[in-house]
Structure 1
Amino acid sequence: MGTPLGDFIRAARDRIQPETLGLAVGERRRVPGLRRSELATRAGISVEYLTRIEQGRDRRPSPSVVNAVADALSLDAAERDHLRYLTKITDGGVCAGSSRAAAPPSRDVRPGVRQMLDLLEPAVAFVTNRCGDVLACTRGFELVMRGVGLLEAAEPNLTRYVFTDPRARTFFLDWDQVADERAFDLWLGPSLESTEWFIDQLTPLAGDELTHRLHRHLTPPTAVLGVRHPTAHELRWDRETLELPRADAQQIVVLLPADADTALALELLRDDARGRPLRAVTG
């Protein structure tokens, strides 16, 4: 049985173009990227050892081996962090099918975090976790998300919305990019137990669109978030994320207009909404 660590290494190996490393590309090459033997040679380990890691038969590679594999795969900083994280959870044996009790993440938001959110008004901002729960938001966020289906749920969740609500495919200009981001974020918490619980809940509804992204383990590139607003047409946002203390396992995400047209459209939305009550999302 494989592991997330083995899945990641195989996916990273497959995406490498051999010619970029000075390796010959001939008709007899039967794999899309780097051969296992080529990666083992570059990392200075045996093919047998690499095979055991990829197949999940060796769950405790040393830090020096992990670093050597990262170097051999030419991973960037974010990918190296993810590789170390997958090594940690594989070493602990906590992954799909583990015996530890799965449980949903807490939806509580500290009063101090809510005060910070109030100070951000009229910005477009929300409190979330890596599962995608929308735990609290500014009036500006509700204004932008009005009528698209996300906040109408009893417990709004961005990841569930992306994978199960047909409106999401119209709302997001690049749905695949957003889906990749949401699936990748699941590996980052809030905890292994909550990730397992959420994946178990979502997989029967999302199907292959979720599972093939979970097993790919490739870090999505940073990109502008484009949405198709019901009345303001296309809006484009840069995203800034403030990580809250580890005990919270939450983030504050702020959407900033990425161009002048979006900034103008946001002001028009605010002008139109003045005097109209907005519902606050509560945990």
Structure 2
Amino acid sequence: MTELGEFLRSRRDRLTPDEVGVRTYGRRRVPGLRREELAQLAGVSVTYLTRLEQGQSTNASDAVVDALARALRLDPDERAHLFALARPAPVRRPRSPRPESASPGAEQLLHAMGDVPALLLGRVNDVLAWNRAGHRLLAGHLDPTAPSRPADRPNQFRLLFLDPHTRDLYADWRAEAALAVASLRYVAAHHADDRRLAELVGELSVRSPDFAALWAGHAVALCTSGTKRFRHPEVGALDLDYEVLHLPDGNGQRILTHTAAPGSPSDAALRLLR
């Protein structure tokens, strides 16, 4: 089954017939919607939906994709993901992009943030740079100069799934891991020819059963802001708001910031890391 077919099936499995107003009779052998039930809800034939899932049809109209998204009750991120899968880019040889580097302007902006913990992330979440507060918050056990050396750069996904210190840093590691994998799947659909990204997914699937299980769930999300709860080894519990700032040059680099509500216990604890 294709990536598109696996995604459609995973979204069918999470819906019950009652949720979408489908009348059922007798016992069911599938946990969610049958393929024919989705086809009926979306107004397409079962044969066409089967061909779409199996990759035998690659010319689904916007109307059909939109109908499937509505029938499956997809959120905006999932809908965008479905369109990306249904509109695959022309097959190209996997590319190995040049090693990334932090632009002087991005590093200047990072350090201008002063006491706000911040990281400059690359296309596949390699840490290209961090300020002092960002390093102390998220990776105090690592060499602070590591991002300056391409061969030694930390990668946020590897740290999250393979590094015990990072795993212990999050109060709800499973929720954090689920969000991370959902965001990685979103990126993967839009950069299917990126060899480094494919290698990262393959490596983590082999080395981390937790990652493999989450990846198989086909959840997708574009995480740009929210709240994270930390259990920092030096200052204890922290509830911090995060924001992802996309740089305008289109190379996929982002700045990740963490802030605390002014006057809160987390703000006081964060000050101890500065």
Normalising by the smaller structure, the TM-score range is 0.7 to 0.9
What residue identity is the alignment partner of 1:230? P
Which secondary structure state, in structure 2, belongs to the residue aligned with residue 269 of structure 1?
A: coil
Contact 1:150–1:156 (8 Å) recurs in 2: no
Which secondary structure state, in structure 2, belongs to the residue aligned with residue 66 of structure 1?
A: helix
CA distance, structure 1, for counterparts of residue 86 and residue 261 of structure 2: 36
**CA deviation profile, 1:178-220 (whole Å, cap 9, x unmatched):** 22222223231584313213223433322x3223322322235
Q: Which residue of 1 aligns with 2:149?
A: none
Q: Which residue of 2 aligns with 1:281?
A: none
2:205 counterpart (203, 206, 218): 203
Which secondary structure state, in structure 1, belongs to the residue aligned with residue 272 of structure 2?
A: helix
Which secondary structure state, in structure 1, belongs to the residue aligned with residue 27 of structure 2?
A: coil
2:271 counterpart (259, 267, 280): 267
| Range moving further from structure 2, 250-259 or 6-15 | 250-259
**1:35: Cα distance to partner?**
1.6
Q: Which residue of 1 aligns with 2:242?
A: 239
Q: Which residue of 2 aligns with 1:219?
A: 220
The TM-score normalised by the length of structure 1 is 0.82
Contact 2:170–2:231 (8 Å) recurs in 1: yes
Q: Which residue of 1 aligns with 2:23?
A: 24
Contact 1:102–1:196 (8 Å) recurs in 2: no
CA distance, structure 2, for counterparts of residue 258 and residue 150 of structure 1: 29
Which secondary structure state, in structure 2, belongs to the residue aligned with residue 80 of structure 1?
A: helix
What residue identity is the alignment partner of 2:163? D
Q: Which residue of 1 aligns with 2:56?
A: 57
Q: 1:57 to 1:148 in 2, by over 3 A?
A: farther
Q: 1:13 to 1:177 in 2, by over 3 A?
A: same
CA distance, structure 2, for counterparts of residue 195 and residue 166 of structure 1: 23
Alignment of 1:37-186 (within 5 A): 37-89=36-88, 92-93=90-91, 100-103=93-96, 106-148=99-141, 154-186=152-184
Any unmatched runs of 5+ in structure 1? 95-99, 271-283
| Range moving further from structure 2, 192-201 or 11-20 | 192-201
| Range moving further from structure 2, 22-31 or 132-141 | 22-31
**CA deviation profile, 1:53-81 (whole Å, cap 9, x unmatched):** 22333233222211111111111211111
Which secondary structure state, in structure 2, belongs to the residue aligned with residue 79 of structure 1?
A: helix
Is 1:229 aligned to 2:236, yes or no? no
CA distance, structure 2, for counterparts of residue 246 and residue 57 of structure 1: 37
CA distance, structure 2, for counterparts of residue 152 and residue 32 of structure 1: 50
CA distance, structure 1, for counterparts of residue 255 and residue 231 of structure 2: 23
**1:42: Cα distance to partner?**
0.9
Contact 2:118–2:131 (8 Å) recurs in 1: yes
Q: 1:226 to 1:258 in 2, by over 3 A?
A: farther
CA distance, structure 1, for counterparts of residue 253 and residue 56 of structure 2: 34
**1:149: Cα distance to partner?**
5.1
Identity %: 35
Any unmatched runs of 5+ in structure 2? 147-151
CA distance, structure 2, for counterparts of residue 264 and residue 250 of structure 1: 30
CA distance, structure 2, for counterparts of residue 25 and residue 148 of structure 1: 56
Contact 2:183–2:220 (8 Å) recurs in 1: no
Which secondary structure state, in structure 2, belongs to the residue aligned with residue 108 of structure 1?
A: coil
Q: Which residue of 2 aligns with 1:275?
A: none
What residue identity is the alignment partner of 2:19? T
Aligned residues: 262
Q: 1:219 to 1:186 in 2, by over 3 A?
A: closer
Q: 1:200 to 1:22 in 2, by over 3 A?
A: closer
What residue identity is the alignment partner of 1:63? D
- Root-mean-square deviation (CA, aligned residues, Å) is 2.6
CA distance, structure 2, for counterparts of residue 225 and residue 214 of structure 1: 21
Which secondary structure state, in structure 2, belongs to the residue aligned with residue 30 of structure 1?
A: coil
Contact 1:150–1:161 (8 Å) recurs in 2: no
Q: 1:135 to 1:70 in 2, by over 3 A?
A: same
The TM-score normalised by the length of structure 2 is 0.85
